[in-house]
Structure 1
Amino acid sequence: MTDHRYVCSSCGKTHEGLPTDWGFKLPDEVFDLSYLDKYRRTRSNTDLCSLDESRFFIRGLLSIPFTHREGEFAWGVWAEVSKATHDFYLENYSNEMAQGTKASGVLANTIPGFPEITGQALDIAFQNSKSRPFFSFPRSAEHELAADQRDGIGHNRHHQFLELCGHFDESEA
């Protein structure tokens, strides 16, 4: 088996093993805007985003537990939420008492290999100020990624996630 290393896009350091997360910088609809439209129509930071002052997004983690080792693979994705949910997160970001508060939203990113789940319902659980909200699919969701979230994934599926994201193409270049 080949040893794997990768350069983390957050800290810039080289790490051993395979990445255990993959993130999206913006919701798809915002990312697809031209440079000037992004400037004119959006406000965003690494955790919150608004589009046309009428659509609101928060960034969180959609975690898939590993079955072959400790830990999980986390998709860093955006959820479109109501203005009330967006404002609650904004106002309670540092409030430890808000931890565990529940909300709902819909997935605002197309995850590679799973185009059919964009717009699917998400349950949101707010965490402490050091952790992004946790996103999960409702128990009634029947698509493949919801099953992965419920049942966990092994090494081969983890590897497949990274292949779908182009990780191995980039690391061998």
Structure 2
Amino acid sequence: MVDQEFSCRRCGRRHEGLPFSYGAEAPAYWRDDLASDEGSVLEDETCVIQAQHYFVRARLVIPVLDAEDDFDWGVWVSLSRDSFRRTLDLWTTPGREQEPAYFGWLSTELPVYPVGTLNLKTEVHSGPVGTRPHVVLEPTDHPLAVEQRSGITMKRVQEIAELLLHPRG
């Protein structure tokens, strides 16, 4: 991961480290009161809500055109029950990256986009054992999908950091 200082245009200060990765702790649909629900569980890599909705944590990678490293959103994606079960069945199986992609819905709201990111159509690709799946968005004109296809610049990485460090209410 690349970390470098940057002068913040929102607060005027220098910040140590320009993060190239941000992540959500839970799917957007998770609520704290679900922790006491028998059919709900939030773990580091998986989540089930009321024994009806199934999620995996994944990476949505965006190329950074003027840097050596990619930008990485840590997101949650909903899967069908069958796809979720298959993902769990293959969790520790070498070669699981050969599995066909699963259809999923993006289940993380990324606040740096002018339109919502919830429920964008995705393909979820398994990676080698020990790595998170990665997400490929349906090729639409949504700004996140465009960035994933076309890449972003270091200026945009800094803009994302500024927006997340200093959100305006």
Match of 1:4 in 2: 5
Pairing of 1:55-94 with structure 2 (within 5 A) = 55-94=53-92
Pairing of 1:1-150 with structure 2 (within 5 A) = 4=5, 17-30=17-30, 33-34=31-32, 36-40=33-37, 41-101=39-99, 102-114=101-113, 115-139=115-139, 141-150=140-149
User: What is the Cα deviation at residue 108 of structure 1?
Assistant: 0.5
Q: Which secondary structure state, in structure 2, belongs to the residue aligned with residue 96 of structure 1?
A: coil
Q: Does 1:161 align with 2:160?
A: yes
User: What is the Cα deviation at residue 4 of structure 1?
Assistant: 2.2
User: What is the Cα deviation at residue 44 of structure 1?
Assistant: 2.0
Whichever residue aligns with residue 24 of structure 1, its letter is A
Q: Which secondary structure state, in structure 2, belongs to the residue aligned with residue 28 of structure 1?
A: coil
User: What is the Cα deviation at residue 128 of structure 1?
Assistant: 1.1
Cα deviations by residue, 1:66-87 (Å, 9 ceiling, x for unpaired): 1011121110000011011111
Match of 1:10 in 2: none
Q: Which secondary structure state, in structure 2, belongs to the residue aligned with residue 106 of structure 1?
A: strand
RMSD: 1.8
Cα deviations by residue, 1:54-103 (Å, 9 ceiling, x for unpaired): 11001100000110111211100000110111111111111122113211
Whichever residue aligns with residue 91 of structure 1, its letter is D
User: What is the Cα deviation at residue 161 of structure 1?
Assistant: 1.4
Q: Distance in 2 between matches of 1:38 and 1:158?
A: 34
TM-score for the superposition, normalised by structure 2? 0.83
Unaligned runs of at least 5 residues, structure 1:
6-15
Aligned length: 152
Whichever residue aligns with residue 116 of structure 1, its letter is G
Given that residues 24 and 74 in structure 2 are in contact (C-alpha distance below 8 angstroms), is that contact kept between their aligned partners in structure 1? yes
Q: Distance in 2 between matches of 1:64 and 1:99?
A: 20
Q: Distance in 1 between matches of 2:34 and 2:80?
A: 22
Q: Which secondary structure state, in structure 2, belongs to the residue aligned with residue 127 of structure 1?
A: coil
Q: Which secondary structure state, in structure 2, belongs to the residue aligned with residue 29 of structure 1?
A: coil
User: What is the Cα deviation at residue 52 of structure 1?
Assistant: 0.3
Whichever residue aligns with residue 80 of structure 1, its letter is S
Identity in percent? 23
Unaligned runs of at least 5 residues, structure 2:
7-15
Q: Distance in 2 between matches of 1:117 and 1:22?
A: 15
Q: Distance in 1 between matches of 2:98 and 2:159?
A: 32
Whichever residue aligns with residue 29 of structure 1, its letter is Y
Q: Distance in 1 between matches of 2:83 and 2:42?
A: 16
More helix by share: 1
Q: Distance in 2 between matches of 1:17 and 1:162?
A: 10
TM-score for the superposition, normalised by structure 1? 0.81
Whichever residue aligns with residue 143 of structure 1, its letter is H
Q: Which secondary structure state, in structure 1, belongs to the residue aligned with residue 158 of structure 2?
A: helix
**Superposition misfits of 4+ residues, deviation over 6 angstroms:** none
